[in-house]
């Protein structure tokens, strides 16, 4: 059996959490990540017949029975994940009842998965139905995206258009735009269901006055989506109060999307 601390998926979780912390996206225990793993790969590092303990999830996820995830722990600080992964992360498998997590590794101090597990697992189900290659759901609280939810109209089309117009790369990176949820109590099955519903149409979902969710095939793609939104939101917050002299026109957004061959939301442009 190989050493779990050498597993590329564990290293990637640690590296990503540190980068997110360093960028200020994850104060204290803010944010959470879940990563759908390949069973054969995990079997190289762990005995899959050895369940440390079981933890009820509080909701049904029948579509994910038998699936294995590495997930950040609730209340755990992102700044600590890299130096102490065994206490701050856990590897769980969804049991045959669809409502129990079997702990295979981690949460060594008796902890449990993120309080946002409903939003994560329900979003995995949604994204897998759209793209079977989806592996990551990532949530965090980036400064400028969060600030923008205080001052910008929280309409999906309006928010997406504003972000597309902040910088040339935006429409190329997130041509499918952003879904938006109003303020809701976090950690509940309700916000999980609402997020997952949006995830059928969007890889990015903004939680008003809370943060953002991203989904992708791998850690870099997902990180890059949020990073690009955050950069665009920063441009907006740096300039929204100033007279705007130059802007990217709708015709130029169309030109960009066509040149890069991305499938963008055409009804979001006034053309």
Residues near Zn ion, by CB under 5 A: 211
Q: Which is nearer to ligand 13P, 146 or 159 (CB)?
A: 146
* Best CA proximity match to 224, nearest among 163, 174, 164: 174
Determine contact, residues 69/36, Cβ cutoff 8 Å: yes
As measured in angstroms, the least distance from the Cβ of 182 to ligand 13P is: 15
Q: Which is nearer to ligand 13P, 194 or 253 (CB)?
A: 194
Partner touching 115 among ligand 13P, Zn ion, none, CB below 5 to 8 Å by kind? ligand 13P
The CA-to-CA distance between both ends of the chain, in Å, stands at 59
* Tokens linked to 262: 């991305």
| 179 near ligand 13P, judged by CB under 6 A | no
Site string for ligand 13P, 60-79 (x = CB under 6 A): ------------x-xx----
Q: Which is nearer to ligand 13P, 191 or 253 (CB)?
A: 191
Burial class (CB in 10 A: 0-12, 13-18, 19+), 80: middle
How many residues touch ligand 13P under the rule CB under 6 A: the total is 12
Tell me the torsion sign for CA atoms 119, 121, 123, 126.
Answer: negative
Site string for ligand 13P, 90-119 (x = CB under 6 A): ------------------------xxx---
| 149 near ligand 13P, judged by CB under 6 A | no
As measured in angstroms, the least distance from the Cβ of 142 to ligand 13P is: 12
Give the 3-state secondary structure of residue 93: strand
| 230 near ligand 13P, judged by CB under 6 A | no
| 29 near ligand 13P, judged by CB under 6 A | yes
Q: Which ranges of the chain would DSSP assign to H, the alpha helix? A: 8-22, 39-42, 78-81, 85-88, 117-130, 143-151, 156-164, 170-173, 189-199, 219-239, 250-260
Q: Is 221 one of the annotated active-site residues of the chain?
A: no
Q: Which residues does the annotation mark as catalytic?
A: 116
């Amino acid at each position: 059996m190989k050493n779990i601390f050498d597993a590329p998926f564990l290293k990637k979780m640690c590296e990503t959490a540190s980068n997110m912390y360093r960028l200020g996206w994850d104060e204290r225990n803010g944010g959470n990540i879940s990563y759908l793993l390949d069973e054969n790969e995990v079997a190289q590092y762990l005995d899959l017949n050895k369940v440390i303990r079981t933890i009820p999830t509080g909701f049904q996820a029948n579509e994910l029975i038998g699936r294995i995830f590495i997930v950040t722990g609730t209340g755990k600080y992102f700044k600590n994940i890299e130096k102490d992964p065994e206490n701050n992360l856990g590897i769980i498998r969804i049991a045959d009842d669809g409502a129990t997590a079997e702990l295979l590794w981690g949460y060594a101090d008796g902890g449990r998965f993120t309080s946002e597990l409903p939003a994560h697992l329900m979003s995995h189900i949604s994204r897998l139905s759209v793209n079977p290659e989806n592996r990551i759901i990532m949530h965090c609280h980036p400064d400028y995206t969060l600030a923008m939810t205080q001052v910008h109209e929280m309409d999906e089309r309006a928010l997406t258009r504003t972000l597309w117009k902040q910088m040339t790369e935006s429409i190329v990176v997130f041509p499918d735009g952003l879904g938006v949820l109003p303020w809701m109590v976090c950690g509940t099955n309700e916000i999980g269901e609402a997020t997952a519903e949006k995830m059928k149409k969007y890889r990015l979902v903004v939680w008003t006055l809370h943060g953002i969710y991203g989904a992708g095939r791998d850690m870099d793609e997902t990180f890059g989506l949020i990073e690009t939104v955050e950069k665009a939101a920063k441009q907006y917050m740096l300039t929204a109060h100033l007279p705007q002299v130059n802007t990217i026109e709708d015709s130029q957004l169309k030109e960009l999307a066509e040149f890069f061959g991305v499938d963008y939301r055409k009804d979001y442009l006034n053309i």
